[in-house]
């Protein structure tokens, strides 16, 4: 976990921040439309926790999360992988979408590793 290059760290943090922004926009739109927001809220919380843990491991920033929060975040994040893999398989080689998905997958994998350091399964 600590042998990650600075470039991978920067890309992973940026990817998670982008994912959070995307989820916040989705939540806002769904709220305006009166749609059920439970799943988006869970995903947003989980990605926030993942980002916080990566920043804790890499930049020694504190994190306020309980073991229960970490365990739930891990479940939610790992639940995102099939969707990412499906989108990745449909994307074109060398496309910006594929690059985004590769970075998102790597960032989420690293977030799960960081969570596992604090909430072993």
Whether 75 has a pLDDT exceeding 90, the answer reads yes
pLDDT of res. 1? 62
Cα–Cα dist 116/111, whole Å: 9
Whether 60 has a pLDDT exceeding 90, the answer reads no
pLDDT of res. 59? 87
Whether 42 has a pLDDT exceeding 60, the answer reads yes
Average pLDDT score, the chain: 94
pLDDT of res. 103? 97
User: 60-96 burial by CB neighbour count: b if 16+ within 10 A, else e?
Assistant: eeebebeeebbbbbbebbeebeeeeeeeeeebeeeee
Whether 119 has a pLDDT exceeding 80, the answer reads no
pLDDT-derived band at 117 (thresholds 50, 70, 90) equals confident
Whether 84 has a pLDDT exceeding 80, the answer reads yes
pLDDT of res. 63? 87
Q: Calculate the alpha carbon distances from 62 to 15, 30, 59 in Å.
A: 20, 32, 9
pLDDT of res. 3? 83
User: 14-35 burial by CB neighbour count: b if 16+ within 10 A, else e?
Assistant: ebbeebbeebeebbeebeeeee
């Amino acid at each position: 976990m600590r042998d990650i290059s600075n470039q991978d760290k920067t890309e992973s943090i940026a990817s998670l921040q982008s994912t959070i922004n995307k989820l916040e926009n989705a939540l806002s739109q769904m709220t305006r439309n009166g749609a059920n927001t439970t799943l988006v809220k869970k995903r947003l919380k989980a990605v926030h926790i993942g980002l916080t843990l990566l920043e804790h491991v890499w930049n020694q920033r504190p994190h306020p999360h309980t073991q229960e929060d970490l365990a739930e975040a891990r479940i939610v994040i790992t639940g995102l992988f099939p969707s990412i893999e499906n989108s990745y398989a449909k994307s074109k080689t060398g496309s910006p979408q594929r690059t985004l998905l590769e970075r998102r997958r790597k960032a989420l994998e690293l977030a799960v590793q960081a969570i596992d350091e604090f909430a072993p399964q």
